[in-house]
Structure 1
Amino acid sequence: MHSDTTGSWTPVALSADLPAGTVIPARISAGSIALWRSESGRLSASADRCPHRGMSLSHGFVRGEALSCIYHGWSYAQGGNCIRIPAHPGLTPPETIRARTFAVEEAGGVIWVAADETETKPPVLEGLTPLRSMTTDAGISAIETAAGTKASAEGLIEPAGGTLCLLVSARNDGQTLIHVLLKGETSPADRIAASREAESLRRAAEDLQKKGIAS
């Protein structure tokens, strides 16, 4: 299974990991992206490269409704167009200066980004509560083997006999991103137990990967 676990959409982060006014790095099949949320709460996904000097925009900062590069402060609107160049405060930047943007959707506490243009919507994972995200050097096949079950079309792996679900997505850097989700209502003790179970599954999958049992 490749990184686009459901059509063009990839689950790149949990909503709780991206508060208003922040930016984080993420990955989709098209490459690295800067995932950011404006101060009003609107989500955006931009290619992680400033058109000016190539600095990673995920190293930048959010002011109001714009993402600014940490290097020279060039600012970009949610549509990707440059709206401010601090060295030339009286200049209206031309429309040709823009960062590539990607469609982004938020559903059920999960943030999805589409690598290509699409008219579809990402899946709605009903009855699941996000807990945490983690990465592993194991491939999805190794995770499936460790969990004793196959991933669904949406990228969900549901080990038997518990509240744990793993939303998996293979990244283009060789790692697999895992979003840990819980079924139904859970107590603090349930969440601690599920987090430990997810860690155990990750270690088991990495061990299988190293031994070449699953890849």
Structure 2
Amino acid sequence: MPPYPTGSWMPVALSADLPAGTVMPAQSPAGPIALWRSRSGRVAAFADRCPHRGMRLSHGFVRGETLSCIYHGWSYVQAGNCLRIPAHPALTPPDTIRVATQPVEDGGGIIWIPVGEPAAGPPRFDGVIPLRSMVVEADIAALESAAGTKAGEGLLDYTHDGRTVRLLLASEGKARTLMHVLVDEDSNPSERIAASRAAEGLRRAAEHVAASGTAR
């Protein structure tokens, strides 16, 4: 994954896509992560690898305030240390058994991972709310080429059929972009459907640009 500017924030998921008691895979500048939300609603970000046998923790399950690996059931609290090993129920796991964690912020309907140590909190977008996310198998340059405009600070304003759709972009690799669709908070259902369709059309166009190698 290309480096993000130190001191910035990366939008890795939408809050609505991570209900309480669930876990999902995501990407950060440091690599794959397991995003999970405890039963009480707190979000955590772990390196997506169990220290025991290397199983992806994003395949695991949430129990109360812990995330458990699907393989052998080792359970971890949000600070990253191992709380329980089912094969040894009487054992108190040593503090050396722990998962690498990343700071995470959940606000405005978006889950953010900091890159370095930002001087301020993640961006807030007044008057808009996140509608949905989609993965684009193309880089940001291909999206800009397909949209006919440049992104600024991760935001791309795409005009389609007289409507402007605001898109929040996060690079997930050399040729992969996570695209969050933002809509006016007072938009009606038909406007939200139109925004979603416009974003889908842009996704297809960008993937065509990437496949043909015509990005400018």
> What TM-score, normalized to structure 2?
0.92
Using the TM superposition, give the Cα deviation of residue 152 of structure 1 relative to its aligned residue in structure 2, in angstroms. Answer: 1.5
Deviation at 1:6, TM superposition (A): 7.8
| Cα 1:130/1:3, change in 2 over 3 Å | farther
Identity %: 61
Q: 2:7 touches 2:117 (CA, 8 Å); kept in 1?
A: no
Letter in 1 for 2:72: H
Q: Is this contact kept in 2: 1:164–1:181, CA < 8 A?
A: yes
1:84 equivalent in structure 2: 84
Stretches of 4+ moved more than 6 A in 1? Answer: none
Query: CA shift at 1:162, angstroms?
Result: 2.2
CA shift for structure 1 position 118? 4.7
How does 1:1-215 map onto structure 2 within 5 Å? 2=2, 4=4, 7-118=7-118, 120-153=120-153, 155-160=154-159, 161-172=162-173, 174-214=175-215
**8 Å contact 2:39–2:63 — kept in the other structure?**
yes
Q: CA deviation at 1:4?
A: 3.1
Contact persistence 2:7–2:119 (CA under 8 A): no
The answer to whether the 8 A contact 2:155-2:166 is kept is yes
Cα deviation 1:122-179 (Å, max 9, x = unaligned): 11122211111111111101111222221111x0101244241111111136311111
* Amino acid across the alignment from 1:176: T
Q: Report the CA distance between 1:2 and its aligned residue.
A: 4.4
Q: 1:126 to 1:194 in 2, by over 3 A?
A: same
CA–CA distance in structure 2, aligned partners of residues 131 and 202 of structure 1: 15
- Which consecutive residues of structure 1, in runs of 5 or more, have no partner in the other structure? none
After superposition, give the CA deviation of every residue in 1:30-73 in whole Å (9 maximum; x if it has no partner): 11000000000000000000001100000000000000000110
Q: What SS does the aligned partner of 2:173 have?
A: coil
Per mean C-alpha deviation after superposition, the further-off stretch among 109-118 and 12-21 is 109-118
Q: CA deviation at 1:203?
A: 1.0
- Report if the CA contact (8 A) 1:29-1:172 is conserved: no
Hey, what's the Cα distance between the residues in 2 that align with 1:89 and 1:173? 44
In 1, are the aligned partners of 2:137 and 2:207 still within 8 Å (CA)? yes
Instruction: Check conservation: 2:23, 2:58, Cα contact below 8 A.
Output: yes
The alignment partner of 1:209 has SS state of: helix
Please provide the CA RMSD for this pair. Answer: 1.9
CA positional deviation for 1:119 = 5.1
Q: Secondary structure at the match of 2:131?
A: strand
Contact kept, 8 Å, 1:2 with 1:169, in 2: the verdict is: no
Maintained 8 Å contact 1:103/1:117:
no
Match of 1:131, SS state, is strand
Q: Quick check: 113-122 or 78-87, which moved more?
A: 113-122
Distance between the aligned counterparts of 1:38 and 1:120, measured in 2? 26
Give me the whole-angstrom Cα distance separating, in 2, the residues matched to 1:186 and 1:91. 55
SS of residue in 2 equivalent to 1:158: strand
The alignment's TM-score, normalised by the length of structure 1, stands at: 0.93
Question: How many aligned residue pairs are there?
Answer: 214
